[in-house]
Structure 1
Amino acid sequence: MAYARHQSFYLRDKWISKGLKAVHFQPRFFFEENSPENVGLGKNMVMSLRFWLLATGLINEEKVDRRTEHHSTDLGNIIFKDRLLQRNDTVSILHYQLVRNEDDLATVFEWFFNEYKETVTDRDSLLKAFIVWVNKNDKPVSKKSLKRDIDCLVQLYTKEPNEDDPEDFTFSPFTKLNIMKENATENGQEVVHKIQPDIEDIGLISLYYILLKYSEENETSLISLDEIVQDKYLWGNLFNLSRNRIIDVLNLLANHKKFPLEYVRTNNLDNVRLPQIKPIEFLSYEYEVEIERGTG
Structure 2
Amino acid sequence: MHRTKKKKKMKRQDALLKVYFHDPYRFADFINVILFNGQEILEPTMLEDYDSDTSTYVETHQIGVIGINRNRDIIKKVNIDGKMGLIAIENQSHVDRRMLYRIREYDSYTCLNQYYYQQSQSKSRKKLLHIMTLVLYFGSKPWKGARTFNELALQPPSSLESFMNYPMVPIVCVTDLDYHMFHHYDNLNLIRGLQIIYRFNGNIEMLKGMIVSKIVASLLALFSDDEELFEMIQIQSQEEINMCESIRKFKEDNIRQGKIEGRMEGRIEGHIEGRIEGQVELLIEILQYKLKYLSQETIFKLQNSSEQQLKELSKHIFEIQDEKEVTQILVS
The answer to whether the superposition gives a TM-score over 0.5 is no
Larger Rg: 2
Greater share of helix: 2
Q: TM-score, normalised by structure 2?
A: 0.25
